[in-house]
Structures are given as C-alpha cells and as structure tokens.
Chains A and B, each alone.
Chain A
Amino acid sequence: MSLGRKVRITLGLSGSIGRAKVVQPRIVLFGDSHVHAIQEAVRHRVNRRANVPVEVRRLFKEKNGKTLGDTPFDGILEVGASLSSNDVMVSVIGGNQHAVFSTIQHPQPFDFLLPGDDPAELMEGQAVLPYRALYDYFSSGIRGGDAKSIEALRASTQARMIHLAAPPPKGDNSFIENYHDTRFAEENIASLGISPPTLRMKFWRLQNRIIGELCAKIGIELMMPPTEAVDADGFLKAECFANDATHANDNYGELVLQQLELALIGRSRPVKVA
C-alpha cells in the first residue's frame, strides 16, 4: 500500500525571465489525519500523471502494532530547517478538538455564543456557557498540544508558513449517526445521539479563532477551507465527506491542492537566481 509514500515531484515550472532563471517555491505540507484526504488527491494526480505542486507528509505514528504516516515529527523539523525563505511549509496539524467537544450529544445539552452571534439563534431551553470560560478551556487544550507542534514547526524553518484550517463540520446528522452506530454502542452512548449541527459549527469556528490568533502571533497565515467545498451554511458539502464524522475525502483534497496552487504558485513571485 502506498498511501504513506512521500510524494515529491518536481514541478517542472522552472523557467526564465529575461536572462534570470526562475525557481518555484518548494511547498511541503505536513499534518495528521486530515492529511489523508490530500494524500489521496495526490495519488489520483500521480495516476493521471498530472502535476503535484506539493510534497505531502503525514506524521508517523505507531499504535497497537499498526503504523501510520511517514514522517516523524523530528523529521519534519529537519525538512523545515532545509527550506529557504522562498519555500512554503503548510501545516495541517491537529484540527479535531472541535469534534471532541461537539460530536456526541452531551448528557446536559448546552449552547454558547461567539462574539457577534445573534442570541436569538441559541437553542431553546439549553444551558448557555459563557464564551470566555469555554474559550479558555478549549484553548488550553490546543496550547498544550497542537499549538506546541505548530510553534516548533514555525521555529524550525525560515519558509513562509501557512496553517490550513480543518475541514468544516458535516451538517448531516444521519450520516454521522450511521457511521457511528457501532462505536456508540461500544461506548454505551447510543442513547445520547449526535450534537446539533449548529453546535458543531460553533466549535469549529471557535477552534479557528484560537488557531488563527496563535498563527497571527507567530507569523503564520491561516488558510480557510476551499469555498467550493463548503455549502451555503458553511458546512462541508456531501461530495467532500469521508465516511466518518469529521474527515473530508479526496475530492476535498483536490480542492485543497487547487487552492494551494492558486495561492502559492499563481501568485508567487518568481525568484531571480544569479
């Protein structure tokens, strides 16, 4: 199985402007489970002999006798160190904290407001948590985990750095419920069901706010998911669903590749090499 294979394809976009040789930036994308959709899209491109503008790596993990990914964290730091300031490191680190808080319906249903939200849209009859209490708690989890990895990656490289937000939540509860039947039974939480989509959307937005603030502080650009993958209410479109609660599929991965191409190659400024 070649899913974990590193994909490094020279773009073949080198050229010249006048007498100067132009070199496109090296783009490295690294992350955890959300990388899978992009790896799949890359695999399809490779099969089609299409250009792949990005070197995609997934965090190597060993668990219960199985291995996942291809690049240990130390390895990606070495890659980061080898990049120049003309290159780009794309982080797809973490991104599932929102799902931990909002996939399974809590036994004590709750809701909250983000800054600017209309209180009329709160779910009726549910406890309302103060935003700042939730923010502090939620962000402490990110600070103690994914933020450290993102910061380490930032510190490792002089390359331009982008963090790609996790795919938005799925608005279709029955889709999630069908997938999770067995798991819910195992966890003895079948009776609880799935949280309302609006709550999942709020937690995803909260996560993006927190990650966005972190990124802004340490010089990382936050890139939102491709608009083509998102429906009118902000949820992931059904054609981009992977067969689980939180992940996207290869269609989504392809849209991400196109977005990166547009942002990083379409707009990149050629570099003159002596």
Chain B
Amino acid sequence: MSPQPYQSLPDKAFWRRTVAGPAPHDVDPVGIFELRIEPQTKVATAGSCFAQHISRYLRKSGFNYFVAEQGHPILSAKARTANNYGLFSARFGNVYTARQLLQMFERAYGRFCPAEDVWHQAEDVVLDPFRPTTQPGGFISEAEMRLDRAQHLAAVRYMFEKLDVFVFTLGLTECWRSRSDGAVFPICPGVEGGQFDADQHEFYNQSTEDVIADLTAFRDALVAVNPEAQIIFTVSPVPLVATAEPGANVLSATTYSKSVLRVSAEALRRRFENVHYFPSYEVITGAFNRGAYYAADLRNVLEDGVGHVMRLFMQHATSAEPATDAVDPHVDQTAPSDHFSAAERLVEVECDEVAFDRH
C-alpha cells in the first residue's frame, strides 16, 4: 500500500508551514523557478509600473541590467534619467498588456505600422501615441518624434536580439485600441495626449485566450531573433486605477485582470522551457502580510514589499554576487564623462588665456 501523496511533499506545498506559520518577511511563495542569472547575464525589463522596481533593483544590485537605449552620453546620467532613459531597457515607457508587448515587437521589425501614429498636442508639442509620456514636454515636431522613434525601435530590436533574459511584468488586460487596425495604446487617448474619438477608439478587455495567444506569438517571435532568450513573467500586484468594463466594479475587475494574467503566465510556463514565472504578485497580495505591503491608497506598493520580492528574486534567480566585468559597450558610461570633462578643461583654459595678447 502506497503512502498518501501529500506525505512526501515539501514544506512549500503546505499552507500552514509556508504561509501562516513563518514570520511575514520570511514567506517564500516560489514554486518552480529553475533559471539562474549570472553576473554577466544580460537582463532586460519591460512591463507595467511595477516593472520599474525590478529595473531599479537590478541596476542597484550591480547585475548586468541591460539597457539598449541609454540616451546620448553628452547628457548627464541625471538628465538621462529625467528623460526616462534607463527606466526600462529601452525608452518604451510602461507596457501594460500582452497585446501592447506583441505590437511593440511587430512595430520594431516593421511588420505593423499603425495608422494613428502621431498625436499633435500643440504646434511644438508632438507625442508618440505608443509612449506618450516618455519624452517630458513632448517632441518639438513630428519630424523629431519620428526620428526619435526610429532610433528607439532600433534599440528595441537590439535589446531583443542581444538580451539573455527578458523580465516582463504583466499589468493589465484592459486597454484601448484603434477600431481601424487594432493598435492598442498604453493609455486611453485623451488622457495623457491625443483626443478620444468613440468612432475611432474602442475599449478592449483581453480574455485569457487572447493573452495566451499574444504571449505565445511574442515568445515565438523573440526566439526567432534570439534562440537562447529566456523569459520571466511576473504579474503586477498594483490594482487597476479604474475600470472601463461596462458595469464592472474596479475591485472585481482587478481580480479578473490579474487572474487572466496569472493563468496566462502559468500556461506559457508549462508550455515552453524558456518561460519562467516569478511570484512577485503573490508576495505583495498574499494574506500573510495582511495588506502591509500596500500604501494607504491600497494601490501603490511600499518599499518593504518591493524589497521582499527582490530579495527572493536574488535568492532564487542569482548567485547573489554582483558583476564586476559587465563589458557590453551599451552599458559603459565612463568614456562620455571623460569627454565632457576634457571639453570643459579646454574651454576653461581658453577663457583664462584670452586675457593675454592674442590677435
């Protein structure tokens, strides 16, 4: 007679031993996570706003946080940060939905060219509808926006082709899309730019089937240009700020959205060897912390919670020794500073010397 199957299971399979019993900060919801990130591994990030925390921690940790679009080094590091360079691995802003991710990939490779591809806010304020908040103040002209977008999409291609690991934080299922060609916008037109037009724009709430199909198409496209690429999906624990689902309550809509994303991530993890899931969503939303990881608005995640997630991420995904020899030229930031200092010295010397008689 065989022992009943639960007898041989590890502690992590049992609620009391793993969730209710340990101190909250010791709870570790990681199930299967077999990917290892070495100091030289190039890790790229994208996703909803929670993904920014992952980017920040990776950068701080000294691991090889791969930024394919760093901004020109004539700008100081502070100025580049202020202009959203390095917030993610390219200057794409928040990518909330699986459809947006897939379309970004298709746009980068010229396979999808949305009809509504420029928003004129004023004579000298032009936005890219697919990253409307990325350039503070907007672009000064449509020509400048298109030039910047061409450079951006080149950086996106470079990122996808050179990365080792792509961490994508799934944020939403709800989005707004063009009725003409299905292009999805990160933000509803009219909110941060553009003009809402009910004849041109429609609400679209992705189903589980849609998300799985989009993520699968994205995964296949990524592997086509980078066969060794590994993907980590996480689900953002940040609730919807508002729902546009007819008749819906925002709390229930949040549950729907996160459930679809969680199920989809799991479906892909089971289906593909190069897809992994990391449970940041569970760390933040788990009942074990009694809501302590949320700010007073019950939406934003506190630093303690992010720290818990990233501590577990480092523990499970890395050898926890920061890189000392990240050599990718796209990561190097020293030469430009040297250049600027040399230029300053040159002009300073010249300014001093001009007092002496030269004609």
**What is the 8 Å Cβ interface bit string for chain A, positions 93-132, against chain B (1 contact, 0 not)?**
0001001110110111010011100010010000111111
| A114 to B141 alpha-carbon distance, docked (Å) | 10
Give the number of residue pairs across the A-B interface with Cβ within 8 Å. 138
**What is the 8 Å Cβ interface bit string for chain A, positions 20-50, against chain B (1 contact, 0 not)?**
0000000000001100100010000000000
| Cβ of B193 to closest chain A Cβ, rounded Å | 15
Q: Is B76 an interface residue (CB 8 A)?
A: yes
Contact A100 B79 (CB under 8 A): no
Contact B339 A247 (CB under 8 A): no
Q: Is A249 an interface residue (CB 8 A)?
A: yes
| Chain B residue at smallest Cβ distance from A95 | B351
Contact A133 B144 (CB under 8 A): no
Contact B351 A104 (CB under 8 A): no
Contact B354 A130 (CB under 8 A): no
Contact A183 B346 (CB under 8 A): yes
| A242 to B359 alpha-carbon distance, docked (Å) | 5
| A245 to B336 alpha-carbon distance, docked (Å) | 21
| Chain B residue at smallest Cβ distance from A96 | B347
| Cβ of B209 to closest chain A Cβ, rounded Å | 39
Stretch at the interface among B131-139, B199-207, B237-245: B131-139
Among the listed A66, A113, A183, A189, which residue makes an inter-chain contact with B143, where contact means beta carbons less than 8 Å apart? A113
Q: Is B147 an interface residue (CB 8 A)?
A: yes
| A137 to B82 alpha-carbon distance, docked (Å) | 9
Contact B336 A101 (CB under 8 A): no
Q: With A128-B144, A132-B139 as given contacts, are A242 and B358 in contact (CB-CB < 8 Å)?
A: yes
Contact A104 B346 (CB under 8 A): yes
* Chain B residues with CB under 8 A of A108: 72-74, 336
Interface residues of A in 243-271 (CB under 8 A from B): 243-247, 249-250
| A242 to B356 alpha-carbon distance, docked (Å) | 11
Q: Is A187 an interface residue (CB 8 A)?
A: yes
Contact A243 B358 (CB under 8 A): yes
Contact A100 B343 (CB under 8 A): yes
Among the listed A130, A187, A246, A247, which residue makes an inter-chain contact with B345, where contact means beta carbons less than 8 Å apart? A187
Contact A130 B346 (CB under 8 A): no
| A114 to B343 alpha-carbon distance, docked (Å) | 22
Contact A33 B352 (CB under 8 A): yes
| A187 to B339 alpha-carbon distance, docked (Å) | 9
Contact A129 B351 (CB under 8 A): no
Q: Is B196 an interface residue (CB 8 A)?
A: no
Interface residues of B in 270-298 (CB under 8 A from A): none
| Cβ of A1 to closest chain B Cβ, rounded Å | 8
| Chain B residue at smallest Cβ distance from A112 | B144
**What is the 8 Å Cβ interface bit string for chain B, positions 121-163, against chain A (1 contact, 0 not)?**
0001000000000011111110110011001000000000000
| A187 to B345 alpha-carbon distance, docked (Å) | 9
Q: Is A180 an interface residue (CB 8 A)?
A: yes
Q: With A101-B74, A132-B140 as given contacts, are A250 and B359 in contact (CB-CB < 8 Å)?
A: yes
| Cβ of B210 to closest chain A Cβ, rounded Å | 34
| Cβ of A183 to closest chain B Cβ, rounded Å | 6
* Chain B residues with CB under 8 A of A218: none
Contact B79 A140 (CB under 8 A): yes
| A33 to B350 alpha-carbon distance, docked (Å) | 9
| Chain A residue at smallest Cβ distance from B84 | A133
Q: With A131-B144, A183-B349 as given contacts, are A36 and B354 in contact (CB-CB < 8 Å)?
A: yes
Contact A103 B141 (CB under 8 A): no
Interface residues of A in 212-236 (CB under 8 A from B): none
Among the listed A40, A101, A244, which residue makes an inter-chain contact with B353, where contact means beta carbons less than 8 Å apart? A244
Q: Is B357 an interface residue (CB 8 A)?
A: yes
| Cβ of B126 to closest chain A Cβ, rounded Å | 11
Among the listed A4, A103, A188, which residue makes an inter-chain contact with B347, where contact means beta carbons less than 8 Å apart? A103
* Chain B residues with CB under 8 A of A104: 339, 342-343, 346
| Chain A residue at smallest Cβ distance from B79 | A137
Contact B147 A119 (CB under 8 A): yes
Q: Is B109 an interface residue (CB 8 A)?
A: no
| A244 to B359 alpha-carbon distance, docked (Å) | 9
| A130 to B144 alpha-carbon distance, docked (Å) | 7
| A32 to B147 alpha-carbon distance, docked (Å) | 39
* Chain B residues with CB under 8 A of A249: 358-359
Contact A68 B336 (CB under 8 A): no
Among the listed A103, A107, A119, which residue makes an inter-chain contact with B336, where contact means beta carbons less than 8 Å apart? A107
| Chain A residue at smallest Cβ distance from B341 | A187
| A113 to B144 alpha-carbon distance, docked (Å) | 7
| A188 to B359 alpha-carbon distance, docked (Å) | 27
* Chain A residues with CB under 8 A of B353: 244
Q: With A107-B336, A189-B342 as given contacts, are A129 and B74 in contact (CB-CB < 8 Å)?
A: yes
Contact B345 A129 (CB under 8 A): no
Q: Is B344 an interface residue (CB 8 A)?
A: yes
Contact A110 B74 (CB under 8 A): yes
| A66 to B356 alpha-carbon distance, docked (Å) | 11
* Chain B residues with CB under 8 A of A244: 350, 353-354, 358
**What is the 8 Å Cβ interface bit string for chain B, positions 82-126, against chain A (1 contact, 0 not)?**
110000000000000000000000000000000000000000100
Q: Is A63 an interface residue (CB 8 A)?
A: yes
A to B CB contacts below 8 Å, 23 in the list: A4-B355, A36-B354, A104-B343, A106-B339, A107-B339, A108-B336, A113-B140, A115-B141, A128-B144, A129-B72, A130-B135, A130-B148, A133-B71, A133-B136, A134-B75, A136-B83, A140-B79, A180-B346, A187-B345, A187-B346, A189-B342, A244-B358, A245-B350
Beyond A113-B140, A128-B148, A133-B136: 14 further Cβ-contacts under 8 Å? Answer: A3-B355, A68-B355, A101-B343, A108-B74, A113-B141, A128-B144, A130-B144, A130-B148, A134-B74, A136-B136, A189-B342, A192-B339, A243-B358, A244-B350
Q: Which 8 A-B pairs have the closest CB atoms?
A: A33-B351, A137-B79, A119-B143, A243-B358, A133-B83, A187-B342, A132-B137, A33-B354
